[in-house]
Amino acid sequence: MKMEECKMSIGSLSDQVLNRLSNMLDNSTCGWRQLANAVSEQPKFRCSERELTSCSLQVLSAAGSPGRTLLAWLADRTCPLDFLLHCLRKIDHQEAVQYLTTTVPELIQVTVQPQTQQATVGGRVVLICRASGPPGLSYQWFRGNEEILDETGNTPELVLCPLAPVHHGSYICRVHHGENFIFSQWAHVRLVRSAGRSPGCSSSLFPGSVSGLQITGQPQSQEVSEGDTLFLECNAEANPPAQYEWYHDMVPMTQHKTRSLKIPCVTTAHRGEYRCKIFNLYHEVWSDTAKVTIGPRSTDVTDDSWVEVDRGPDSKEVHRSGINPLQQMASPSPSAKNFYATDKVALLIGNMNYLYHTQLCAPIADVHELTNLLRQMDFKVVSLLDLNWQEMHSAVTEFLLLLDKGVYGLLYFAGHGYENYGNSFMVPIDAPASYTSEHCLCVQNILTRMQEKKTGLNVLLLDMCRKRNLYDDVIVQPGLLKVTANIVFGYATCVDAEAYEVKREDVSNGIFISFLKRRVCEDEKVTVMLDRVAEDMGRCVITRGRQALELRSNLSERRSLTDQIQTSECSESHSARNLQWAVAHVLPTSHYLQFDCGVKVQLGFAAEFSNVMVIYTRILEKPGEIVSCCAQLTDFPPDVDVDLKKTNQDTLLEAGSLLLIKENLPSPEVPSLYTRIRCLQRLRRELTFTVCLHYTYSNMDDEVQERQPVSVGKPLVSKLNLHEPRPSRASSGSSSSSLDSFNIPECSSFSSVGSDSNAWLYHSQTARQSSTTAASRSANVPEEMDSPELFHDAPQPLVASKSLPHSQVNDTNYKFSDSFHSH
């Protein structure tokens, strides 16, 4: 192969080549496991234990392929073909080496993608698509599904001039050579209004001229730690569209030719200066220099070993090196070992849509943001929305099954709650109007069960009110807690106080999570991190006197949520936990339906939460005589919650998904219809529905319909059957809200697992409770300017946003929602 071909990324290989390679690697003697060990010589390509387990799970599905999954991860990390060939030679896989060396020279790779542009009517737009491959490449342009047949339609450059309303739409280029072909990405041409227009074909971005280039976003200097992901971005407006080349210490980075530079698992070799060269046919500019510093990861130290000293009346105390014991305890040994977890698991519950109580808004956004942050720290996260009493009990039971010796367990709840006689109670969505402890879950009983598993760290974050419940006069007696020194309670508010959520037009956030998300990933002792969150909340004027974080802890070791995972010696137990966690994260594989009229439809699936799924449909192929067609879903089972008014929508937002999913969905430019399925935990049988195809022929006015039934099994958390009671044992003297009424086996069996999905893209967070009187208040200026606050001084209209990213907390205005008692 030529040098340029060797430097190509695995991601440039076609599906046909990748499928052929994966078939060669799906064996136990010289296959994907040996390849995973070989690529680990480069740290950035090393697979974690979780990723290897996910690969293994693929064999449980008829269409699953461990080798294909491994190649997909290597492609995501921009692994070059020459390194893949090196590793295949290293494991002596001659068949794969021979196949790659003969196939790659025939591959087609798009080197310049067409870019989305906007211009005024009468202007000029140039779409460019360039590709490398064998001689004699041909280019074929399409607007939507229609081929462009004029003289400019079969060249690398598509010139639209003068622009007219008919040019508005999505464009794609098909590059082919013989039977081999590849499609470019979609580019959208938008027409915008303009008060005036220069004569001739001028760009709306650069009036009066045909071409232009202007940088609109510069890469920023930053400091990251070894093992983190480095992300730099440079944006430009250009006509013709801009191309990008990244340089590290003025050495070109040939694998990075997009506006974003992403390097996973950085090492000290990546420190230095980065610049981006932006150019098009007529201009060339350089970005600012971004200096990147790579520092070592901070390490945890513990006290050195200590020996009890006999302090008899006549004896002298003997200390090491003549140092006072108190001084010794205050000076940890530099050789002390780090703390680690044998695994890290989290259960996040957000209850919003209560049947007999005030509806909450914030849990969906809070659970989503906390889930993403915990996943960054290698937590196995199950995120659930709107659970009733039975489902909450079953979910907690399944969560306890994931715990084992040395595991870090985290439970987060957002919703209505109360506190009586020192015990905290989480309220399910089906709790009656005058609920008591028997209708709720006692947090202290859950903690007792967690301790039975000999966990390394127990963190409970309760984002709920702690007012007294006047309807409940029962004093619950939880099980006795052990003296373990590994418990952390983080309460969103103080005793006998309420928790609030920030009211916004579309997505709300809780006060607690708004501050917690800034700190939760800090490599600090958990209690130190939560103390800083409390200080941040205390500096915000609008929360002072209304809500203050309360921390209770007996944690004596410097354990952090960022501690690394070191698998325990009990590998079978670890594998069982991984498999059980994976059960709740299995998405159906894509379905391809062929209708009698010749139309081919794709059904795709993506997870928003562990019990919320989005299904999208799109047309892949249709005969030329059909002028219009769409595939819609109908006939859903009554078990799941589907808003029929929001099914088969053109956008996720119209389908009811406020937290847009960025992965595992087609490009927004690809025409698709979206349907959102909620409450999958209540699904009692396989999920079935009907795909109804509506289409019209060019010579007919009447619409024709075809229908096909579809069954996709039990997706996501529905496999756990949370609607079913867990086996009970002899009841203890505690309240029925205690988990003591459930028998927690040491391991569980499950049904066959389908293809593993890495789509825990969106997870939910909690909603807080409120006070009896409505309180709408303007925000105030922060007292300390060195700590950015959530609120501003000037009352302005609410800003519509899907989340509260760190970079935008100062750009959003809030008010307290109308607040209500939690009971």
Q: Which residues contact 326 (CB under 8 A, 6 or more apart)?
A: none
Q: Which of 146, 194, 200 is nearest to 170 (CA)?
A: 146
546-585 CB burial, b ≥16 within 10 A, e <16: bbbbbeebebeebbbbbbebebeeeeebbebbbbbbbbbb
Among 706, 688, 556, smallest CA distance to 622 is for 706
**Most distant CA pair in the chain: distance in Å?**
111
CA atoms within 13 A on the CB side of 568: 20
Quick count: other Cβ atoms within 10 Å of Cβ 306? 10
Q: How far apart are CA 726 and CA 588, in angstroms?
A: 26
Enter the tokens of residue 108: 């087609």
- Nearest in space to 145 (alpha carbons), one of 186, 109, 115: 186
What interhelical angle do 571-583 and 389-401 show, nearest 10? 150
Structure-token pair, residue 495? 């005793």
Sign of dihedral through CA atoms 706, 712, 718, 721?
A: positive
DSSP codes of every residue in 39-91: HTTSGGGPPPHHHHHHHHHGGGSTT--HHHHHHHHHHHTT-BHHHHHHHHHHT
Contact call for residues 184 and 114 (beta carbons, < 8 A): yes
Residue 387 dihedral angles phi and psi, to the nearest 5°: -105, 140
- Number of CB atoms found within 10 A of residue 792's CB: 18
Half-sphere exposure of 618 (CA within 13 A, CB side): 17
Asked if 87 is an active-site residue, the reply is no
- Distance, CA of 416 to CA of 769 (rounded, Å): 6
283 is catalytic: no
The single-letter code of the amino acid at 387 is L
Question: Could you give the CA distance from residue 301 to residue 329 in angstroms, rounded to a whole number?
Answer: 12
Residue 450's contacts (CB-CB under 8 Å, 6 or more residues apart) are: 400, 403, 409, 411, 458
Determine the residue type at 114.
P
Whole-angstrom distance, CA of residue 39 vs CA of residue 47: 9
SS3 287: coil
- Which one of 248, 256, 416, 585 is the catalytic residue? 416
Cα pseudo-dihedral 722, 762, 458, 388, rounded to 10:
-30
- Nearest by Cα to 514 from 506, 524, 505, 502: 502
User: Hunting for tokens 């373990």 — which residue is that?
Assistant: 484
From the list 47, 442, 465, 629, the catalytic residue is: 465
How far is the C-alpha of 248 from the C-alpha of 252, rounded, in Å?
A: 6
**Identity of the amino acid at 173:** C
Q: Which of 770, 688, 796, 575 is nearest to 55 (CA)?
A: 575
Q: Which stretch of DSSP H or E encloses residue 602?
A: strand 600-609
Contacts of 20 by beta carbon, 8 Å cutoff, 6+ apart:
99
What the block records as the tokens of 439 is 């209708």
CA angle 363–364–369, rounded 5-degree value: 95
End-to-end CA distance of the chain: 71
The 8-class DSSP code of residue 105 comes to G
Burial 271-293 (b: 16+ CB within 10 A, else e): bbebbbbbbbeebeeebeebebe
Task: Give the C-alpha separation, 311 to 252, whole Å.
Answer: 69
The letter for the amino acid at 17 is V
| Active-site residue set | 416, 465
